[in-house]
Amino acid sequence: MSDLGRDPLNKISIEIKDLYKTFDENAALNGISLRVTEGESLTIFGPNGAGKTTLIKILATIMNPSSGSILIDGLSIRDQPDKVRRKLGIVSHNTFLYQNLSAFENLDFYRKLYDIPKERIYEISALIGMQSRLYDNVSTLSRGMQQRFSIARALLHNPSIILLDEPETGLDQEALELLWGILKNGEQKRTIVTATHNLSRGLETSDRVLILVKGGIVYEGQKQKLDINKLTQIYQGHTGGAK
């Protein structure tokens, strides 16, 4: 049970208890328990196959756990999925954008699903600096521009919790900086959970880090007490140099 980040005065954004996920008798997640406080930025490191993406997908409600409970802002994913989903925004290496539609039509589609007024589309496009390309067909946009619109799509409904699944795989340097700029500088306190391979950027953007190996948490530490060298050492120690 990790709750070193808990400040009794802060709300718990995400509470995970004994989360298991098995595929064909193989435990991708082996009894994870975790608490993330509101406004905290948690980065999860781990080699391939550690279960990072599985954890993010389960938090995003894209995948069902085999057992265990998850509470988002005190709400259970199982009992109130729609309420929970409104609070979550996901950025993964897939853009979730329909290639045949324009960026506007994509955002319009998603805003209908989240019950967001139309004006928000213009707001969010301005925020990512892409108003000029709003009506262009997504397939005509460069990968970088598509990524920016993917960020817009993720933030459209102003989620209080952001889940990032290996953002550096899907987003280029510019888009990454744009994303973290928005996430860190907004007035809204957002809880951020990032799964990543990139030790330095992952440490930089975090308040707390975890290392996940073979579906279990093997290390947890506060950013203040770490630097990149220490972290690299610890990481190598737990993963035997595995990437």
Partner 1 sequence: MNVDKLKVLTVAGCLVMIAALYMIFVYVPTEANMGVVQRIFYFHVPLAWLAFVAFFIVFICSIFFLIKKDLKWDRVASSSAEVGVIFTTLFLASGSIWAKPIWGVWWTWEPRLTAALVLWIIYIAYLLIRLYVTNKEQRARFAAVVGIAGFVDVPIVALAITLWRTEHPSPVIFEGGLAPSMLYTLLVSIAAFSILFTILLLQKLANNTLESDINKLKEKIK
Partner 2 sequence: MNFWRKVWAITWKDIISEFRAREIIISVLVFVLLVIIIFNFAFGAGVEVIKIAAPGMLWVTFAFAGVLSLNRSFILEKEEGCLEGLMAAPISREIIYTGKTLSSLGFMLVVELIALPIFALLFNLNLLTFEIVTITFLSTLGFAACGTLFSAMAVKTKARELVLPVLFLPLVVPVIIGAVKATGMVLSGQTWAEIANWLIIIGSFDIIFLVISFWVFRFVIEE
- Contact residues for partner 1, defined by CB under 8 A: 22-26
What minimum distance in Å lies between the beta carbon of 49 and partner 1? 12
Quick one: what does residue 219 bind among partner 1, partner 2, none, with the CB cut-off 5 to 8 Å set by partner type? none
The correct pick among 34, 70, 88, 179 for binding partner 2 (CB under 8 A) is 88
Contact in structure between 233 and 199 (CB atoms under 8 Å)? no
Q: Which stretch binds partner 2 (CB under 8 A): 29-37, 104-112, 121-129, 172-180?
A: 104-112
Q: Is 107 in the site for partner 2 (CB under 8 A)?
A: no
Can you spell out the DSSP letters for 188-229? S--EEEEEES-HHHHHHT-SEEEEEETTEEEEEEEGGG--HH
User: Given the structure tokens 């506007």, which residue do they identify?
Assistant: 104
Q: Collapse the DSSP code of 176 into the 3-class scheme (helix H, G, I; strand E, B; otherwise coil) and give the result.
A: helix
Closer residue to partner 1, CB minimum distance, 25 or 79: 25
User: Given the structure tokens 């809204």, which residue do they identify?
Assistant: 188
What minimum distance in Å lies between the beta carbon of 94 and partner 2? 3
Question: What are the structure tokens assigned to 232, written together?
Answer: 């690299």
Q: Is 81 in the site for partner 2 (CB under 8 A)?
A: yes
Contact in structure between 178 and 148 (CB atoms under 8 Å)? yes
* Angle formed by the axes of helices 143-155 and 103-113, nearest 10°: 20
Quick one: what does residue 158 bind among partner 1, partner 2, none, with the CB cut-off 5 to 8 Å set by partner type? none
Q: Is 94 in the site for partner 2 (CB under 8 A)?
A: yes
Closer residue to partner 1, CB minimum distance, 64 or 222: 64
Restricted to residues 149-208, the positions that interact with partner 2 (CB under 8 A) are: 153
Q: Is 13 in the site for partner 2 (CB under 8 A)?
A: no
The correct pick among 1, 4, 96, 186 for binding partner 2 (CB under 8 A) is 96
Give dist(CA 103, CA 101) in Å, integer. Answer: 7
Percent helix, strand and coil across the chain, each rounded to 5?
Answer: 40, 30, 35
Contacting positions for partner 2 (CB under 8 A): 57, 60-64, 81-83, 85-86, 88, 90, 92, 94-101, 105, 109-110, 112-115, 137, 153
